[in-house]
Structure 1
Amino acid sequence: MLACFLRIVHSRASLSQDAGSVVAPDPTSTPPDIRSSNNGQDTLLDRIYGKRPALRPIHDVLMQQVARFQPDLRVDFKKSYVCLYRSHLFARLQPTGKTCLDLMLQLRGFEASGRLEDAQGVKPLMTHRIRLRDPIDVDNEVYDWLRQAWALS
């Protein structure tokens, strides 16, 4: 993740409803209300995890794991979930209720076993799901499945 900070103007910046992108403010204006954020990510994550604060630590641990896939990793913040791409979508972080974060993976040709559940018909494009309820659930097994999905994308 980049550590640079942007000044985002509440009255001028707009968050896209679908893409989660941040539109830069007009540099010539002096706005009354200014917020700082990490490329707008904190604002987008607050929108996703604001009512589910217990899931944010799980998200943070997962993002530390996928940061190893740099520079081939692209993170796209949607309205209610986060997509991870290489050349194609390989994973999706989807809150399910207030206590569970579903890690949806695109693993065509793999059999569901153990924590890796079949997700056919649950979400388009995603073939498998791992339910995460605690940051400790993000272990080597989860990392291995993430790495497999990343390698296939």
Structure 2
Amino acid sequence: MAGPQEDMAAAMVVNLKTKTGKSLDEWMAAARASGLAKHGALVSWLKAEHGLSHGYANLVAHKTFASDAGSSDDDALMEAMFAGPKAAMRPVYDRVAAIVHGLDGAQVAPKKVYVSFRRKKQFGLGQPSTKDRFDLGLTLKGVEPSGRLEAAGSWNAMVTHRVRIGAAEEVDAEVEGWIRQAWAAA
């Protein structure tokens, strides 16, 4: 069964031609012809050169790079994300995901390099950044960074805070509290 995020993306695909004059396939062909290989660069180009809204530009970029949950199998995305040296961070993700799955209405949506945690809106994300660090990003507006809970800064604009986690044991009651706080505000 499709979730709200997939339903919204499907509606955007249907409305794309009406709103922009081109179908998703036509936009994807233009995106590929641009030669741009990074999501952010493609979004910026589509907005600047073609006047697409951020939402439509993001949709076209995700579909072009097959980097959203609807374009690829979730299991395949997770397998690729935790392949090779980053496999050591899978137990950290599993602990975080167990907390998220226990929250009413929370959804886990794998992307190409991170996993989005959503309720009505995204409240966090998890990313195996290196072979020995998993970054947990949370949206905690108005919360002062302190200790392990640091400001996200330039790491990721989709969240306000980041927790750097090196081992599954570090996903403790304090981390669970921050996850629950972000979920409650979403």
TM-score class normalised by the smaller sequence: 0.7 to 0.9
1:18 match: 67
1:67 match: 101
2:50 match: none
Question: What aligned pairs does 1:53-132 form with structure 2 within 5 A after superposition?
Answer: 53-70=87-104, 72-132=105-165
Q: CA separation in 1, counterparts of 2:134 and 2:165? A: 5
State the Cα distance separating 1:121 from its structure 2 match: 2.4
Task: Give the secondary-structure state (helix, strand or coil) at the position aligned to 2:156.
Answer: coil
Q: CA separation in 1, counterparts of 2:182 and 2:93? A: 17
Q: TM-score, normalised by structure 1?
A: 0.74
Q: Say which structure is richer in helix.
A: 2
1:4 match: none
Task: Give the secondary-structure state (helix, strand or coil) at the position aligned to 2:79.
Answer: helix
2:173 pairs with 133, 140, 145, which one? 140
Q: Say which structure is richer in strand.
A: 1
Q: CA separation in 2, counterparts of 1:138 and 1:105? A: 14
1:14-35: per-residue Cα shift (whole Å, max 9, x none)?
Answer: xx72212367xxxxxxxxxxxx
1:37-57: per-residue Cα shift (whole Å, max 9, x none)?
Answer: xxx433221111112110111
Which letter does structure 2 place at the counterpart of 1:64? A
Q: CA separation in 2, counterparts of 1:144 and 1:129? A: 14
Runs (4+) of structure 1 exceeding 4 A deviation are none
Q: CA separation in 2, counterparts of 1:17 and 1:133? A: 29
Segments of 5+ residues of structure 2 without an aligned counterpart are 1-64
Q: TM-score, normalised by structure 2?
A: 0.61
Q: Report if the CA contact (8 A) 2:124-2:182 is conserved.
A: yes
Q: CA separation in 2, counterparts of 1:21 and 1:125? A: 20
Q: CA separation in 1, counterparts of 2:106 and 2:117? A: 7
The alignment covers a number of residue pairs equal to 121
